Amino acid sequence: MTDREPRDGRAGPSVSVGIPTYNRAEGLQRALESVLAQSEQDLEVVVADNASTDHTRQILERASARDPRVRSIRQPRNVGLTANFNTVLAAARGRYVMVLADDDWLEPNYLARCRAALDADERLALVAGSAVYHAPDGESFPGRDIDLLDADAARRVRAYFATVTDNVCIYGLIRGSLLERVLPMRNCLAGDWLLIARLALLGTVRTDPATHVHRSSDGTSANFERTVARMGLSRFEADHPHLAIMRFIHEDIARDAPVYSSLSTRARRRLALLSAAQIARTRPLGLLVDELPAGFVQGRAGDLARRLLRR
């Protein structure tokens, strides 16, 4: 693997951390501090401010004045959650790249451990630490680790869709040369799942349980209704999320994502069907809830069922 070519002609850092943000100044301050305090110091932080109306701009101005490793991009208007995510990743110049949510933070050795694993094994496309979720009441609980180490690329993709829940992989360190081949992330429900599946086709994925990304369980990504609003998702995606995810998985693999063109047409279609089927096989109750009458879904029982299914 070779380093990425920096867009401005200068030598790029080893690691780029991108933080897409919108109106979460206090959380952003903590996220920034956790990156700048990493034991891995050959890094840059790229923040894409999605036209925030709080004091995010002032925080970024102070941070870049104190530390030249901080770069910021100010969107002239709110371009939506996914477009801002794609902006920050496209601007990254590092050999390895990760995204960090603006209300999350990293343990000090996170980047060093993930980078060391990638340096040691060129088969790896992505290495993430384990997730620890923090609730507003002070409770904490672990996320779900994912390891996709099968030598067969198609089996890795299928295994990913069979196991993914909170998708902490999206906050892992990614080999930049591979990231360029799988961007942009699609603006749809579980678009981050589609992105990681594309990476899993190109290389293995590993979780390092010895380091952690700390996640707020009250952020946008943890609230389905808030995510629907900020991404501008369709009514179908809001009402039938599992069916929508199955459709998007099939479309991405069978037709839309160029990275799958390395497969024969027959193999591509087969992988699309088998991967979409993983959602039905592992989440049958979710599909049932998708089809419940609207009165039930809007009631307390339906709300509880949806919360349990989306954890």
Segment among 85-89, 125-129, 136-140, 215-219 with least mean pLDDT: 215-219
12-105: CATH, from 3.30.70.1070, 3.90.550.10, 3.40.109.10, 3.40.50.2020: 3.90.550.10
pTM of structure: 0.87
pLDDT of residue 3 exceeding 50, the answer is no
Chain segment 4-34, per-residue pLDDT in tens: 555 444 568 999 999 999 999 999 999 999 9
Residue 157 CA: distances (Å) to CA of 52, 118, 130, 202? 36, 20, 20, 10
Q: Using one digit for the tens of pLDDT, what is the confidence trace for 256-303? A: 999 999 999 999 999 999 999 999 888 877 666 665 554 444 454 445
Residue 176 banded pLDDT, cuts 50, 70, 90: very high
Q: Where in the sequence of the chain do the CATH 3.90.550.10 domains occur? A: 12-105
Q: What is the pLDDT of residues 185-216, one digit of tens each?
A: 999 999 999 999 999 999 999 999 999 999 99
- pLDDT (tens digit per residue) in 96-126: 999 999 999 999 999 999 999 999 999 999 9
Do the strands 124-134 and 140-142 form a parallel or antiparallel pair, or are they unpaired? antiparallel
